[in-house]
């Protein structure tokens, strides 16, 4: 049996039981068990042999019992979180209560976990499950930038099943731009668009333009294009934006970006929105999609329902699948490409004199010491060394084509050519642009294979 004793206890449950049933005087019992008389008296009064709780009978709380009852009512009726409840209590009940004290009070009354509260909240009705092809469309106003004379409009479309988003920015909210947006959407979407849901704006419908008409007339540009493409055009009920809530929620995301970023021009604003939409489609996992991105969900739908798509979804970023090839094929292919690039771009740097080359003993005509450094041959044009503008010798780095060089020369710019024997020679030079991509990889390969290294020292041009 596991005993739970106080760390300063001087008796055990067996000794306490003997004290309670003994008829001997307390002084005799105290001498026998080596405790004080008050300890013997305490255990004779108790009916249990276990330590009692050390919690104070009256807790030192910040809130009074009346205030605690009010807080409990707020917690149970409204289901407020701890931070929200703390803000309410500090504003209306007690201004100096701490967050820890409020949490201890809720834990003492058994309502610290919100999951245990039965709060009657209105449940939102989820969207009906649809296959790809049901698209929500809406228009959002964009703020006017400093370089713009009028405000612009963001046309947004989002697929209900895959959450794939398509946006465009236009100068006006007109039927012509709505028709243009639908054409671009139909061209960009990989799935067949079957149904479109919009509000009753005049850019989408003429439902309320004709007097006495409650249905579209069919003469609107947007409705005519929908009929040509075989798309069903549905309209939301007036004053019920929650029907088109999926696209309204994405408009809220755009509003968060506009509120938390500062834009200097309309072009920068449009580029930021388009970049966010790309990240939303390709990188951001959605809980409603099983924690995958919209493009990944679209590919899953295509594998299970290929008849719903016009073309294969290929704009899915991910890991390269080239690793599935044999390792020998990859190694040979990379070596062949590297050798080809080295032969095309490699330029041999000019020769730097080695101190051991042509060296003779001091004051004697002894034999010449052979240089351990191989003398590289400098590439010449017309029998003369190639030189840069202004009479300064041009030193090209590895894999720097002559056509990519520039005539800009910072002050006191020098090239240091070091060889494995330790020779260092400096000379003026002019800048050559740095290659990129395969040329850079070829340069690294050639530099590792050669015995010499060319380094460039640049002074600071900061003012």
pLDDT in tens, 234-278: 998 888 888 888 899 999 999 999 988 889 999 999 999 999 999
Q: What span, in angstroms and rounded, lies between the C-alpha atoms of 46 and 20?
A: 8
Tell me: do 98 and 243 sit in the same domain.
no
Helix (H, G, I), strand (E, B) or coil at 195: strand
Tell me: do 266 and 178 sit in the same domain.
yes
Residue from 148, 207, 191, 419 nearest 309 by CA: 191
pLDDT of residue 239: 82
Which two tokens mark 377?
């041959």
Q: In the listed set 256, 284, 308, which residue is the last one of a domain according to the structure?
A: 308
Which two tokens mark 282?
């390709």
Q: Mean per-residue pLDDT for 337-346?
A: 55
Tell me: do 209 and 103 sit in the same domain.
no
Q: Mean per-residue pLDDT for 19-23?
A: 90
pLDDT of residue 53: 79
In a domain, 145, yes or no: yes
Whether 346 contacts 398, CB under 8 Å: yes
Q: In the listed set 75, 109, 143, which residue is the last one of a domain according to the structure?
A: 109
| Number of domains within the chain | 3
Tell me: do 41 and 88 sit in the same domain.
no
In a domain, 183, yes or no: yes
In a domain, 195, yes or no: yes
In a domain, 406, yes or no: no
Instruction: Give the torsion through C-alpha atoms of 267, 273, 278, 280, to 10 deg.
Output: 170
Tell me: do 141 and 261 sit in the same domain.
yes
Tell me: do 81 and 203 sit in the same domain.
no
**Residues constituting the chain:** 463
Tell me: do 231 and 265 sit in the same domain.
yes
283 dihedral zone (left: phi>0; alpha: psi -120 to 50; beta): alpha
Q: pLDDT exceeding 90 applies to what percent of the chain? A: 39
Q: What span, in angstroms and rounded, lies between the C-alpha atoms of 347 and 402?
A: 9
* 76 backbone dihedrals φ, ψ, rounded to 5°: -80, -35
Taking 3-state DSSP, the helix, strand and coil percentages for the chain, each rounded to the nearest 5, stand at 40, 15, 50
Bridge-based pairing of strands 195-198 and 232-235 is parallel
Instruction: Provide the pLDDT confidence category of residue 385 given band limits of 50, 70 and 90.
Output: very low
Q: Mean per-residue pLDDT for 348-368?
A: 45
Instruction: Provide the pLDDT confidence category of residue 124 given band limits of 50, 70 and 90.
Output: low
Helix (H) or strand (E) holding 232, with range, is strand 232-235
Bridge-based pairing of strands 384-385 and 232-235 is unpaired
Tell me: do 155 and 220 sit in the same domain.
yes
What's the Cα-to-Cα distance from 287 to each of 163, 283, 294, 308, 458, rounded to whole Å? 11, 13, 11, 23, 52
In a domain, 430, yes or no: no
pLDDT of residue 9: 86
Q: Which of 139-153, 212-226, 237-251 has the lowest mean pLDDT?
A: 212-226
Tell me: do 152 and 288 sit in the same domain.
yes
Which two tokens mark 318?
């991910």
Does the CA dihedral 352-354-358-361 come out positive or negative? positive
135 strand-pairing partners: 159, 196
Q: Mean per-residue pLDDT for 109-117?
A: 79
- Show Cβ contacts of residue 176 under 8 Å, excluding neighbours closer than 6 positions: 221
Map tokens 């696209």 to a residue.
247
Q: What span, in angstroms and rounded, lies between the C-alpha atoms of 451 and 80?
A: 72
Map tokens 């919209």 to a residue.
294
In a domain, 3, yes or no: no
In a domain, 93, yes or no: yes
pTM, full prediction: 0.47
Q: What span, in angstroms and rounded, lies between the C-alpha atoms of 272 and 258?
A: 9
Q: What span, in angstroms and rounded, lies between the C-alpha atoms of 165 and 252?
A: 14
Helix (H, G, I), strand (E, B) or coil at 114: helix
Choice between 329 and 299, residue whose per-residue pLDDT is larger = 299
The answer, yes or no, to whether residue 206 has pLDDT greater than 70, is yes
In a domain, 355, yes or no: no
Tell me: do 94 and 200 sit in the same domain.
no
Tell me: do 36 and 80 sit in the same domain.
no
Domain span at 163: 134-308
Say if residue 246 is exposed, middle or buried (CB neighbours under 10 Å; 0-12, 13-18, 19+).
buried
Angle at alpha carbon of residue 299, lines to 297 and 302, rounded to 5°: 115
Instruction: Provide the pLDDT confidence category of residue 335 given band limits of 50, 70 and 90.
Output: low
pLDDT by residue (tens digit) across 282-291? 988 988 898 9
What's the Cα-to-Cα distance from 114 to each of 3, 98, 310, 364, rounded to whole Å? 35, 19, 48, 98
Q: Which of 45-59, 64-78, 93-107 has the lowest mean pLDDT?
A: 45-59
CATH number at residue 272: 3.30.420.10
pLDDT of residue 357: 45
* 200 backbone dihedrals φ, ψ, rounded to 5°: -100, 25
Choice between 373 and 226, residue whose per-residue pLDDT is larger = 226
Whether 380 contacts 350, CB under 8 Å: no
- Show Cβ contacts of residue 314 under 8 Å, excluding neighbours closer than 6 positions: none
Q: In the listed set 308, 333, 365, which residue is the last one of a domain according to the structure?
A: 308
Say if residue 62 is exposed, middle or buried (CB neighbours under 10 Å; 0-12, 13-18, 19+).
middle
Tell me: do 18 and 90 sit in the same domain.
no
């Amino acid at each position: 049996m596991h005993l739970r004793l106080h760390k300063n206890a001087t008796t055990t449950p067996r000794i306490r039981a003997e004290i309670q049933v003994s008829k001997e005087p307390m002084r005799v019992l105290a001498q026998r068990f080596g405790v004080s008389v008050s300890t013997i008296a305490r255990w004779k009064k108790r009916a249990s042999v276990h330590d009692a709780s050390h919690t104070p009978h009256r807790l030192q709380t910040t809130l009074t019992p009346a205030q605690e009852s009010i807080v409990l009512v707020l917690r149970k009726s409204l289901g407020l979180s701890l931070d929200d409840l703390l803000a309410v209590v500090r504003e209306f009940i007690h201004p100096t209560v701490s967050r820890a004290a409020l949490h201890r009070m809720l834990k003492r009354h058994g309502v610290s976990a919100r999951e245990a509260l039965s709060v009657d909240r209105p449940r939102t009705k989820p969207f009906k499950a649809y296959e790809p092809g049901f698209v929500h469309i809406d228009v959002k106003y964009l703020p006017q930038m400093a370089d713009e004379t009028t405000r612009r409009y963001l046309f947004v479309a989002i697929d209900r099943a895959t959450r794939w988003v398509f946006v465009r920015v236009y100068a006006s909210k007109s039927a012509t731009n709505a028709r243009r947006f639908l054409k671009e959407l139909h061209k960009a979407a990989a799935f067949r668009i079957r149904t479109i849901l919009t509000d009753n704006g005049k850019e989408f419908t003429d439902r309320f333009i004709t007097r006495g008409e409650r249905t579209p007339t069919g003469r609107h540009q947007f409705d005519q294009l929908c009929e040509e493409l075989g798309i069903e055009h549905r309209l939301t009920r007036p004053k019920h934006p929650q029907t088109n809530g999926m696209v309204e929620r994405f408009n809220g995301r755009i509003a968060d970006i506009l509120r938390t970023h500062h834009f200097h021009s309309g072009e920068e604003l449009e580029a930021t929105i388009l970049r966010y939409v790309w990240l939303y489609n390709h990188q951001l996992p959605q809980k409603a999609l099983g924690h995958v991105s919209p493009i990944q969900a679209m590919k899953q739908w295509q594998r299970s329902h290929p008849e719903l798509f016009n073309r294969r979804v290929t704009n899915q970023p991910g890991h390269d699948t080239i690793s599935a090839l044999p390792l020998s094929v990859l190694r040979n292919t990379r070596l062949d490409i590297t050798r080809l690039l080295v032969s095309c771009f490699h330029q041999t740097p000019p020769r730097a004199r080695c101190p051991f080359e042509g060296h003779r003993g001091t004051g004697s005509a002894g034999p010449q010491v052979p240089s351990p450094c191989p003398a590289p041959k400098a590439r010449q044009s017309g029998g003369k060394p190639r030189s840069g503008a202004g009479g300064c010798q041009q030193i090209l780095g590895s894999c720097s084509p002559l056509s990519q060089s520039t005539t800009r020369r910072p002050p006191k710019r020098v090239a240091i050519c070091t060889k494995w024997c330790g020779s260092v020679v400096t000379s003026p030079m002019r800048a050559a642009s740095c290659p990129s991509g395969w040329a850079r990889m070829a340069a690294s390969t050639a530099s590792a294979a050669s015995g010499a290294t060319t380094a460039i020292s640049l002074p600071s041009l900061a003012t």
